[in-house]
C-alpha cells in the first residue's frame, strides 16, 4: 500500500480503522523515542502493538509509509493546536504567541515527543516524503508568523523575524533534547521565546523601534491594556511605563472629550486664554525637570531641551492664548436690507498624533491652537517617547482646563488608527513620515476628517559665493546636527558655490571635529544619542551607502562607543563631499547627522536641482545680495524658508510643507484655519418678497 492509499484510508475509513491507525502511530512515536529511526521497523511496531506485521503493512505499506504517517500526525497535531489557539485571537502579537505556545506546549515539549521529532529531523534531508511534510509544516508556521508580523513591522523585517522565531523554536527543541530535557521545560522555553520576540519586535518596529538588543529589557506589546516601557536611548535604562489604549479606552476618551469640549467651548476666548497662559507658566516653571525627562526619553542633549523643547511649547501656548481672545468672524454689508456675518466655530473633538523627535513641543504645537479655538484634543505621542505628553496633560488640568479637554492616549500605530478612523473625531493633525501621512489621510477620508500633515523632508540650503562664510557654516551646522540630525526641516543637501566650497568645507570640518558627543545629561554635550538601535543602523547604512556610491566622507560617520556611550546609539556627525544629486544620501530622508555637500556654479542650475525632490518642507539661502535672496526664495518649492539663517521657528510664522512634505500649517494665524469652521449667516432686515 503506497502513501496515497494510506491517505485514502485515513479520510474514508471506518472509525475503528482510524482508531487502529492512530494506536499504531502512537506506538511508532514511542518506538522512535526509545530506539530511534533506524531501530523502528514494521516488525518491531507489530511486536510492540501485539498485532501481525501484515496488519501494520495493510495500514501503512512499508516503513516509509508508517514513518511518514507518524510524522504527519505529529505535525498535524501541532498545527491543529495552533489553529485552535489562533481562532479567537485577532491581535498580531497574540497570534505570534499562539504559534509559540502551540509548538512549545507541555504536551509537545516532552522527552517522548521531542525525541520522535528529532528522529524525523535527522531523516528529512534524505527522505523525500518526510521533507514534504516538514516543508508544509514549516511554511504554515512561517506564513502565520509573517502575516502577524506584517502588521507590526515592515515586510522585509517581518520575513526575517518570522524565520528567526521559527529557528528559535527549532533551536530550543534541539537544546532541550541534547541536554536530556534538563535544560528547559515547556514553561521556560515559552518564556525564552516570548522574551526574544518582545525584544526583537522592540528593535524592529520600523523606525519606531527603540532599544533593541539583549541589553534593554523593554517588553513591547501592541495589545490594549498592556503596558510598555520607554527606554533611554543613551543608556538603555527604563525611563517609565505606559499603558496601551485600545478601542474601549479611545471610545471612553472621545466621550469624555465631548463632555469637556461643550464646557470649554462655552467659555469666552479670554477665559480660555487665561487657562492656556497658566499652563504656559507652569511649563516654564518646570523647565528643568521637563527638559531632563525629555532628554532621557529622546536621547537629545540637555543643552537643547533646556532652551528649546519646553520653552517653544510655552511660547506656543502664550501665542495662541492671545489669538483665543481675538478670534472673530467677518461682518459683510449686503445693502440696506441685509447683512451677513461669519462665525468661527470649533470643530469639536480633534486628534493629534506626534513623532518622537520633539515630543513635548509637538504636543504643544498641536494642542495650543486646538484648545484656543475651543476644541478638545486627544493626543497620541510616538510610542518611543510617550512620557512628556502625560506631564502636559497634568499641567493643563492644574491650569484649570476642564477634564477631558486634553487627553493623552498611548500606543502604537493601531491606537493612532483608532483615532484617525473614529467617527466622532473631526480632525487629525499628524507629525510623522510621508508613508504615515498617506495612511492617516486615507483613513481620515472614510469619515471626511480634516487633516494637517507635518511630514518628512530633504531640504536644500544654498550658499552663494558672496555669503558671509562663518554665518553660512553656522547655518549648515544648525541645518544638520541639532538633535543628532533628527529634525524634519533639516537642510541635508548643502549646495555650495564652487568658488568657495574649499574654504567652506575647511571651516565646516574644523567645527564639526570640535563637536562634543557624550552623555545627553551632561550640559557640555552637543551631540546626543539617536532614538533607537534600529534607527542608528539605518543611519549607518546610509553612511556606508554614501561611501559605496562614491561620496567622500570628510569626517565622522562612525558609531561612537567609548566608555558608557557603548550602551547607547551614538553616531559622530558626518560630512560628505563630492556628492551627486542621484546618490541615495542626497535623495532620501536619513533623519540622522549626515550632511551632503554639493557644488554648483549657476543660480538657475541650483534652483532646479534644489527643487528636484518629492519633498518640500523647508529651504535656506545664504547670500549678501538681497535681491537674489528674495528671487531665489520665491522660486524654491518649500513651505518654510530662511534667508541667512536656518531652523529657527518662531511661533508667529506658520510652519509646514508643500509637495510630499505635508498639508496645512502649524503656528501663526494660519493654524486657526485648521481648527475652526466657518458658519455663514444671512440676516434680513426687511420684509420677505416671495414670487409665489
**Taking CB under 6 A as the rule, does residue 369 contact ligand NDP?**
no
Quote the least distance from Cβ 531 to ligand NDP, whole Å: 8
CA distances from 127 to 62, 69, 83, 599 (A): 14, 13, 27, 63
238: Cα within 13 Å, side-chain hemisphere = 11
Contact 665, 656 (CB under 8 A): yes
Site string for ligand NDP, 208-247 (x = CB under 6 A): x---------------------------------------
Quote the least distance from Cβ 588 to ligand NDP, whole Å: 11
Instruction: Using alpha carbons, select from 571, 656, 573, 562 the residue that is nearest to residue 617.
Output: 656
Catalytic residue status for 128: no
Kindly write down the DSSP assignment for every residue of 132-159, as one continuous string.
HHHHHHHHHHHHHHHHHHTTTS-HHHHH
Q: Which of residues 458 and 497 has its CB atom nearest to ligand NDP in the complex? A: 458
Q: Which of residues 102 and 440 has its CB atom nearest to ligand NDP in the complex? A: 440
Judged by CB under 6 A, the stretch of 127-135, 281-289, 408-416, 672-680 that binds ligand NDP is: 408-416
Instruction: Using alpha carbons, select from 192, 103, 110 the residue that is nearest to residue 145.
Output: 103
The DSSP 8-state label assigned to residue 515 in this structure reads P
Query: Could you tell me which residues are beta bridge partners of residue 429?
Result: 352, 452
**Taking CB under 6 A as the rule, does residue 294 contact ligand NDP?**
no
The DSSP 8-state label assigned to residue 80 in this structure reads H
The per-residue b/e assignment along 247-256, b for 16 or more CB within 10 angstroms, e otherwise, is: eebbeebbeb
- Spatial separation of the C-alpha atoms in residues 111 and 433, rounded to whole Å: 50
Among 218, 366, 449, 458, the active-site one is 366
Binds ligand NDP (CB under 6 A): choice among 101, 108, 198, 207: 207
Among 304, 318, 414, 454, the active-site one is 454
Which residue is associated with the grid cell 481620515?
Answer: 444
Catalytic residue status for 373: no
**Taking CB under 6 A as the rule, does residue 668 contact ligand NDP?**
no
Contact 437, 402 (CB under 8 A): no
Judged by CB under 6 A, the stretch of 196-204, 275-283, 431-439, 497-505 that binds ligand NDP is: 431-439
Quote the least distance from Cβ 439 to ligand NDP, whole Å: 4
Return the C-alpha cell found at 121.
Answer: 529531523
Helix residue ranges per DSSP H, 466-612: 469-478, 498-513, 533-548, 584-587, 603-611
Quote the least distance from Cβ 498 to ligand NDP, whole Å: 30
Judged by CB under 6 A, the stretch of 37-45, 350-358, 396-404, 643-651 that binds ligand NDP is: 350-358
Q: Which of residues 31 and 202 has its CB atom nearest to ligand NDP in the complex? A: 202
Q: Is 692 exposed, middle or buried (0-12, 13-18, 19+ CB in 10 A)?
A: exposed
- Spatial separation of the C-alpha atoms in residues 47 and 677, rounded to whole Å: 86
- Spatial separation of the C-alpha atoms in residues 114 and 656, rounded to whole Å: 60
Binds ligand NDP (CB under 6 A): choice among 488, 595, 598, 621: 488
Among 249, 488, 501, 533, the active-site one is 488
Q: What angle do CA 429, 435, 440 make, to 5 degrees?
A: 35
Q: Which of residues 388 and 420 has its CB atom nearest to ligand NDP in the complex? A: 420
- Spatial separation of the C-alpha atoms in residues 17 and 416, rounded to whole Å: 55
The per-residue b/e assignment along 122-133, b for 16 or more CB within 10 angstroms, e otherwise, is: ebbeebebbeeb
Binds ligand NDP (CB under 6 A): choice among 24, 49, 382, 477: 382
Q: Which residue's Cβ has the minimum distance to ligand NDP?
A: 416
**Taking CB under 6 A as the rule, does residue 417 contact ligand NDP?**
yes
Binds ligand NDP (CB under 6 A): choice among 113, 436, 534, 596: 436
Mention every residue, 6+ apart, whose C-beta is less than 8 A from residue 366: 352, 354, 377, 379, 429, 431, 666
Instruction: Using alpha carbons, select from 348, 363, 368 the residue that is nearest to residue 431.
Output: 363
Among 294, 393, 666, 673, the active-site one is 666
- Spatial separation of the C-alpha atoms in residues 657 and 489, rounded to whole Å: 9
Judged by CB under 6 A, the stretch of 86-94, 351-359, 563-571, 577-585 that binds ligand NDP is: 351-359
Binds ligand NDP (CB under 6 A): choice among 228, 264, 412, 464: 412
Catalytic residue status for 296: no
Site string for ligand NDP, 590-629 (x = CB under 6 A): -x-------------------------x------------
Binds ligand NDP (CB under 6 A): choice among 209, 269, 313, 354: 354
**Taking CB under 6 A as the rule, does residue 433 contact ligand NDP?**
yes
The DSSP 8-state label assigned to residue 356 in this structure reads S
Return the C-alpha cell found at 603.
Answer: 543660480
543: Cα within 13 Å, side-chain hemisphere = 23
By CB under 6 A, how many residues form the interface with ligand NDP? 32
Binds ligand NDP (CB under 6 A): choice among 416, 475, 573, 616: 416
Quote the least distance from Cβ 486 to ligand NDP, whole Å: 7
Q: Which of residues 420 and 623 has its CB atom nearest to ligand NDP in the complex? A: 420
**Taking CB under 6 A as the rule, does residue 353 contact ligand NDP?**
yes
Binds ligand NDP (CB under 6 A): choice among 233, 456, 520, 568: 456
Phi, psi of 537, deg, nearest 5? -65, -35
Chain centroid to Cα 628, Å, comes to 41
Catalytic residue status for 271: no
Binds ligand NDP (CB under 6 A): choice among 40, 97, 357, 429: 357
Judged by CB under 6 A, the stretch of 413-421, 545-553, 554-562, 564-572 that binds ligand NDP is: 413-421
Return the C-alpha cell found at 263.
Answer: 464646557
Chain contacts with ligand NDP (rule: CB under 6 A): 207-208, 353-357, 380, 382-383, 412-413, 416-417, 420, 430-433, 436, 439-440, 454-457, 488, 589, 591, 617, 657, 662
Active site residues per annotation: 366, 454, 488, 666
Amino acid at each position: 500500500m503506497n502513501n496515497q492509499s494510506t491517505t485514502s484510508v485515513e479520510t474514508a475509513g471506518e472509525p475503528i480503522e482510524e482508531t487502529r491507525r492512530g494506536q499504531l502511530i502512537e506506538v511508532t512515536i514511542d518506538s522512535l523515542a526509545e530506539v530511534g529511526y533506524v531501530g523502528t521497523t514494521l516488525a518491531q511496531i507489530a511486536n510492540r502493538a501485539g498485532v501481525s506485521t501484515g496488519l501494520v503493512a495493510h495500514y501503512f505499506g512499508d516503513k516509509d509509509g508508517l514513518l511518514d504517517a507518524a510524522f504527519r500526525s505529529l505535525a498535524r497535531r501541532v498545527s491543529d493546536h495552533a489553529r485552535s489557539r489562533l481562532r479567537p485571537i485577532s491581535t498580531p502579537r497574540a497570534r505570534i504567541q499562539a504559534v509559540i505556545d502551540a509548538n512549545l506546549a507541555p504536551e509537545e515539549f516532552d522527552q517522548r515527543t521531542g525525541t520522535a521529532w528529532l528522529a524525523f529531523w535527522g531523516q528529512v534531508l534524505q527522505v523525500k516524503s518526510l521533507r514534504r511534510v516538514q516543508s508544509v509544516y514549516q511554511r504554515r508556521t512561517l506564513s502565520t508568523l509573517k502575516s502577524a508580523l506584517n502588521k507590526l513591522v515592515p515586510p522585509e523585517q517581518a520575513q526575517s523575524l518570522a524565520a528567526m522565531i521559527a529557528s528559535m523554536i527549532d533551536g530550543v527543541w534541539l537544546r532541550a533534547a541534547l541536554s536530556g530535557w534538563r535544560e528547559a521545560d515547556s514553561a521556560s522555553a515559552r518564556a525564552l521565546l516570548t522574551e526574544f520576540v518582545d525584544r526583537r519586535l522592540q528593535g524592529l518596529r520600523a523606525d519606531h523601534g527603540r532599544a533593541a538588543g539583549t541589553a534593554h529589557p523593554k517588553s513591547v506589546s501592541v495589545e490594549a491594556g498592556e503596558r510598555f516601557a520607554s527606554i533611554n536611548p543613551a543608556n538603555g535604562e527604563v525611563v517609565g511605563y505606559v499603558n496601551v489604549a485600545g478601542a474601549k479606552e479611545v471610545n471612553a476618551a472621545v466621550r469624555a472629550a465631548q463632555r469637556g469640549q461643550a464646557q470649554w467651548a462655552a467659555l469666552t476666548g479670554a477665559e480660555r486664554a487665561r487657562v492656556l497662559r497658566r499652563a504656559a507658566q507652569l511649563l516654564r516653571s518646570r523647565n528643568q525637570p521637563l527638559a531632563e525627562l525629555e532628554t532621557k526619553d529622546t536621547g537629545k542633549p540637555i543643552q537643547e531641551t533646556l532652551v528649546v523643547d519646553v520653552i517653544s511649547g510655552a511660547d506656543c501656548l502664550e501665542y495662541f492664548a492671545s489669538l483665543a481672545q481675538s478670534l472673530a468672524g467677518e461682518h459683510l454689508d449686503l445693502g440696506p436690507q441685509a447683512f451677513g456675518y461669519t462665525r468661527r466655530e470649533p470643530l469639536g473633538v480633534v486628534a493629534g498624533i506626534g513623532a518622537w523627535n520633539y515630543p513635548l513641543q509637538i504636543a504643544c504645537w498641536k494642542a495650543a491652537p486646538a484648545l484656543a479655538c475651543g476644541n478638545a484634543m486627544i493626543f497620541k505621542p510616538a510610542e518611543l517617547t510617550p512620557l512628556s505628553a502625560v506631564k502636559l496633560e497634568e499641567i493643563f488640568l492644574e491650569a484649570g482646563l476642564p477634564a477631558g479637554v486634553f487627553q493623552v492616549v498611548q500606543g502604537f500605530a493601531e491606537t493612532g488608527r483608532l483615532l484617525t478612523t473614529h467617527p466622532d473625531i473631526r480632525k487629525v493633525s499628524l507629525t510623522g513620515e510621508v508613508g504615515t501621512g498617506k495612511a492617516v489621510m486615507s483613513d481620515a477620508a472614510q469619515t471626511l476628517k480634516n487633516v494637517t500633515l507635518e511630514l518628512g523632508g530633504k531640504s536644500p540650503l544654498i550658499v552663494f559665493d558672496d555669503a558671509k562664510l562663518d554665518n553660512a557654516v553656522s547655518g549648515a551646522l544648525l541645518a544638520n546636527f541639532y538633535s543628532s540630525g533628527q529634525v524634519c526641516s533639516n537642510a541635508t543637501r548643502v549646495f555650495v558655490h564652487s568658488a568657495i566650497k574649499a574654504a567652506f568645507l575647511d571651516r565646516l570640518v574644523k567645527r564639526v571635529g570640535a563637536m562634543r558627543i557624550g552623555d545627553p545629561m551632561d550640559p557640555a554635550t552637543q551631540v546626543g544619542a539617536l532614538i533607537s538601535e534600529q534607527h542608528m543602523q539605518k543611519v549607518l547604512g546610509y553612511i556606508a551607502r554614501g561611501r559605496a556610491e562614491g561620496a567622500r566622507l570628510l569626517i565622522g560617520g562612525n558609531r561612537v562607543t567609548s566608555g558608557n556611550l557603548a550602551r547607547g546609539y551614538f553616531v559622530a556627525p558626518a560630512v560628505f563631499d563630492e556628492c551627486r544629486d542621484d546618490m541615495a544620501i542626497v535623495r532620501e530622508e536619513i533623519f540622522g547627522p549626515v550632511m551632503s555637500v554639493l557644488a554648483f556654479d549657476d543660480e538657475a542650475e541650483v534652483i532646479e536641482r534644489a527643487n528636484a525632490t518629492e519633498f518640500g518642507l523647508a529651504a535656506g539661502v545664504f547670500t549678501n545680495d538681497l535681491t537674489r535672496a528674495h528671487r531665489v526664495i520665491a522660486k524654491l518649492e518649500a513651505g518654510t524658508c530662511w534667508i541667512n539663517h536656518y531652523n529657527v521657528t518662531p511661533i508667529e510664522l506658520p510652519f509646514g510643507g508643500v509637495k510630499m512634505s505635508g498639508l496645512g500649517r502649524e503656528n501663526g494665524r494660519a493654524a486657526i484655519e485648521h481648527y475652526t469652521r466657518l458658519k455663514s449667516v444671512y440676516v434680513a432686515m426687511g420684509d420677505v418678497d416671495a414670487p409665489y
